[in-house]
Amino acid sequence: MLTKNMTLARRKNVARNTGRFLNEVWSELKKVQWPSRDELYGFTVMVIVAIVAVGVYIGALDSVLSEVSQRIFLLGGSR
């Protein structure tokens, strides 16, 4: 059974650990080399182009496989 002092000590420990964690996160964020606006724009365009390309590829593959499966099922059902 937890006593009142133990509960209070745990809360203080959690608060201290959380504060230390946030300080360390802020310290690491200061070390990050953030991309420039031009780099960010270029990366964004690259991601959008990649998403469109993958979407077109998956759409085309779906169409081809759908057509193939339709022909297989129609061929099997005509006997």
- Residue bearing tokens 């300080």: 23
Q: What percent of the chain has pLDDT over 70?
A: 87
- Kindly state the tokens that stand for 15: 């608060």
Cα 51 from Cα 6, distance rounded (Å):
53
Give tens-digit pLDDT for 29-54: 999 999 999 999 999 999 999 999 99
- Kindly state the tokens that stand for 3: 């006593």
What's the pLDDT band for 1 if we cut at 50, 70, 90?
low
3-state helix, strand, coil in the chain (%, to 5): 85, 0, 15
Q: Is the pLDDT of residue 79 over 60?
A: no
16: amino acid identity, one letter:
R
pLDDT, position 2:
59
State the average pLDDT for the chain.
89
pLDDT, position 16:
87
